[in-house]
Amino acid sequence: MVKIKSRSEIEKMKVAGRYTYETLKAVSEAVRPGVTTKQLDKIAEHYIHSKGCTGSFKGYGGFPGTICASVNETVIHGFPDDVPLKEGDVVSVDVGACYKGYHGDACRTFKVGKVDEKTEKLVRVTRESFYEALKFARDGYRISDISRAVQNYVEANGFSVLRNYCGHGVGSELHEDPEVPNYVTRSRGIRLRPGMVIAIEPMVCGGKKDIYVADDEWAVITQDGEKSAHYENTVLITTGDPMLLTFPAGCDEIG
């Protein structure tokens, strides 16, 4: 069942969203060749706790980290580890902060030093596909309008969208109804209404869409070894323009 958030719930989610944004910003400032994703994870955990919040991901379904740290061909759900990042890598950092029982959820793909032209385009197109989808995050549109916008934009630029994993509702649970796919399915999906909160999150493969799941049963990796990118914000549907709870007005883009 899709939950319509009350004014009180939305206020809590605004705080959770801001701290999620600020956590990503703190992590972004540490991304460079030689740093490990475990070090980035510690930065995120410290920042979230310093704000009186808890990490939404740590322990969720047994996940070991505060952040999902997905490097290069790992699209999503990468474990933080001790392998140093290298010049030319990309790392997708997905994180959530929970404030008074309500979650924020956001992701950015960070470039490590200088990357090649294709990687630069991949990161840019992934971000831009989110904003194509955001045009339809409005009262009266359907989930399928968001899905179509992402898929059309990504594929027109020569990349592919991840199947079997999608965006979702957010609230007192990290993952709520509705599902928000990044590709067109047989279902048109529900109509969006004010008070709904959804995570729109294009997950884009630099080559083909085929993937496999690692032995840890978490990391989702491109079959062809091509790099990937991920961009996500928690979005409140209003009577007018959508509100990005994890990218507060007046704040700078990260990455």
Residue pair 108/28 in contact by the 8 Å Cβ criterion: yes
| pLDDT given at position 223 | 98
Condensed to tens digits (0 to 9), the pLDDT of residues 27-47 reads 999 999 999 999 999 999 999
Condensed to tens digits (0 to 9), the pLDDT of residues 160-193 reads 999 999 999 999 999 999 999 999 998 888 999 9
| pLDDT given at position 64 | 98
Q: Which residues, 6 or more positions from 45, have their beta carbon under 8 angstroms from its beta carbon? A: 55, 58, 66
| pLDDT given at position 188 | 82
Six-digit token pair at 66? 């505060």
| pLDDT given at position 43 | 98
Q: Domains in the chain, please, with CATH?
A: 7-244 (3.90.230.10)
- Write out residues in the chain with pLDDT < 70, as ranges: none
Condensed to tens digits (0 to 9), the pLDDT of residues 220-235 reads 999 999 999 999 999 9
